[in-house]
Amino acid sequence: MKARGLQAFRARQIWDWVWKKGVVSYDAMTNLSKDLRAELAAELPVTGLSVETVRKSKRDGTAKALLATREDRHIEAVAMPDEESGRLSICVSTQIGCAMGCRFCASTVGGLKGSLTSTEIVDQVLLMSEIAGERASNVVLMGMGEPLANYENSLAAVKRMNSAEELGIGARHITLSTVGLVDEMARLADEWPPVKLAVSLHAPNDDLRRRLIPIARKYTITEILEVASGYADRTSRHFTVEYILIAGLNAARKHAEELAARLRRLPAKANLIAMNPGGAGDYAAPSEGRVKAFRDVLAERGIETTIRKRRGTDIEAACGQLRLRQAE
């Protein structure tokens, strides 16, 4: 504003429009002149992403967007309203594609195309909040990519989400999901705000996990759970073990018993997720009864367990599905 010969307070007006009111278009900034709004729109876009496609579920209100970077690469983000709590959770991507190679996940198809900047990660929250028509109360880094493989940008984005000057979302309302990069996980307690930690385990033993997740050849389940437990102890919060249930592969009673033995006495909760279609492998979800039976085994052994509600199944809301259908 100073460079344009204008009053410095104009900068605060623009800042407040974006971060306090969630506005992503200069057209809505009515206390700025029309000419200034036009100039800013041309020279300094509010976000570095553009919305290409939006799908909204008629079943549960979930909205999924296909977003394009300035380099015309495509990512996905999801807004998930909860009528009971009145909260809006937004799932963001941290990379374009993914290099982890998990065989059940559509995000890995085509490999890794690049990593997002911290601004592009934060921009997803702004854009999805506008699409949903309300401010985000929770953010989960569970979209495309491995957040800890894009460590510095993911960290910078989370700090901005948490900052009172920007999104102002409390650390306990931000969740980092990782496939289990042990070296990076060991840095979390010292370098990150005390966000919630979710570990994508998906198998109760290393042999089975290596069949599903190539990175499992580098880190064992014991190593992952040990460093996750250390983070939980230092932040005084439980961590969550995410477990995708795949029919005929990891959803039998023996797998539930083995997982319960792994988690017993750890500061951990389990979150069970029925398989979504779209990965490289020919996998399918188990029956609802099998999912509940798996949960019951864990619960009987003292493991706090939830079954994740399947959201947006009518709009291909699972990671990577929409991108595969409509973009690269």
Residues serving a catalytic function are 76, 319
Scanning 179-287, the segments in alpha helix (DSSP H) are 182-185, 188-191, 206-212, 221-235, 253-263
d(CA 284, CA 245): 9
Q: Check residue 67 and report its DSSP letter.
A: E
What is Dmax (Cα atoms) for the chain?
Answer: 71
Cα 91 → chain centroid: 4
The dihedral formed by the CA atoms of 258, 262, 265 and 269, expressed in degrees to the nearest 10: -90
CB 59 within 8 A of CB 313: yes
Place of tokens 């199944």: 313
Q: Which residues of 174-212 are buried (b: 16+ CB within 10 A; e: fewer)?
A: bbbbbbbbbebbeebbeebbbbbbbbbbbbbeeebbeeb
d(CA 81, CA 78): 10
The dihedral formed by the CA atoms of 323, 162, 16 and 54, expressed in degrees to the nearest 10: 20
Question: How many Cβ atoms are within 10 Å of 146's Cβ, its own excluded?
Answer: 27
**Got the DSSP string for 15-51?**
HHHHHTT----GGG-TTS-HHHHHHHHHHS-S-S-EE
